[in-house]
Structure 1
């Protein structure tokens, strides 16, 4: 029940991927296990301007859900919009950002094929992530600050996680001004 209420508050009624809360004593982060699901994804190289890279990826995917697909089907918007970030090897190297939209449940079995070759349908396996939530508008610096806090909390608690990649998750329209919900995710390791 709490999960359903929380998901409804975050998403403004949009479809969300299914997840289960995993037991966790910490008050400054959550542990979630996401079920396997399909996502529409596009990769964007990003040297320094995270906002532009995310906007580019978002627009590609928005065009896909507006009918730029083999079925000319309009697909409902979902939440969250995630970015999977693989940092570059050095300070001047480009990071790779994969922007993704969750494919709604009614299209999970057979999602429309993207018309553009820079979009793919990705099948994410079951994944456990550590999640830190925060409000307001987000940007690269704010994400980094939240990731650092999450990382420090996980190390404090002896949790193992992939230190090479991370996700950001945004739940709100850019036009929503108040009570915004954002997250950073680190992938749990056993």
Structure 2
């Protein structure tokens, strides 16, 4: 348990999902990434608060990697922790938040089944995302600001994209103080 807790809190050398980078342009303030098909373990919550959903989802998923799964197997902590946001219909409507951990390579072919009925295994098909990276300690307002900047950049460049859902991704433990990495992802429109 201490090893996994230590990884979750201090490590930056975690496994990440593989992706292929799109063409790079000097003046672009975002990346284009095509993520390979992979398995994730996820939980979906409804609410008004992005950060509250992330915290609740993280705790449920952390319990899963600690061995609270059908196989009683401890699973390595990975990065990023993603949060898919399906916004509600209006400003006072609940949104749906799907918080996910990437399943490490050694479990990709046969991920441990969750024992918590609120968790599920998710097979993400290959997808392309426009990604804006930012530092510091992320919060709901900062994620919204960065998402707006990314959307403005995509509009400026005439890039076809999907307005919703969108994703936030965090790579660091709350105890990492410097060189923090956060991202917002907007999906490429399917052709």
TM normalised by structure 2 equals: 0.91
Pairwise CA distance, 1:139: 1.1
Show the counterpart of 1:136.
136
Show the counterpart of 1:98.
98
1:40 is aligned to 2:56: no
The whole-number CA distance in structure 1 between the counterparts of 2:12 and 2:116 is 29
Instruction: Report the secondary structure of 2:141's partner residue.
Output: helix
Give structure 2 stretches of 5+ with no counterpart. 1-10
1:164 is aligned to 2:164: yes
Pairwise CA distance, 1:36: 0.1
Instruction: For residues 82-110 of structure 1, give each alpha carbon's deviation from its aligned partner in whole angstroms, at most 9, with x where no partner exists.
Output: 00000000110001100000000000000
Paired residues, number: 179
Show the counterpart of 1:109.
109
Instruction: Report the secondary structure of 1:163's partner residue.
Output: strand
Show the counterpart of 1:149.
149
Pairwise CA distance, 1:165: 1.3
Show the counterpart of 1:8.
none
Show the counterpart of 2:7.
none
The whole-number CA distance in structure 2 between the counterparts of 1:156 and 1:24 is 16
Instruction: Report the secondary structure of 1:162's partner residue.
Output: strand
Show the counterpart of 1:4.
none
Show the counterpart of 1:183.
183
The whole-number CA distance in structure 1 between the counterparts of 2:151 and 2:52 is 26
The whole-number CA distance in structure 2 between the counterparts of 1:185 and 1:51 is 17
Give structure 1 stretches of 5+ with no counterpart. 1-10
The whole-number CA distance in structure 2 between the counterparts of 1:59 and 1:178 is 23
Instruction: For residues 154-186 of structure 1, give each alpha carbon's deviation from its aligned partner in whole angstroms, at most 9, with x where no partner exists.
Output: 111111111121000000011111110000000
Task: Tell me the C-alpha RMSD between the 2 structures.
Answer: 1.0
Pairwise CA distance, 1:27: 2.7
Return structure 1 stretches of 4+ with deviation > 4 angstroms: none
The whole-number CA distance in structure 2 between the counterparts of 1:24 and 1:94 is 37
1:28 is aligned to 2:23: no
Show the counterpart of 1:5.
none
TM normalised by structure 1 equals: 0.92
The whole-number CA distance in structure 1 between the counterparts of 2:157 and 2:178 is 32
Instruction: Report the secondary structure of 1:152's partner residue.
Output: helix
The whole-number CA distance in structure 2 between the counterparts of 1:130 and 1:51 is 22
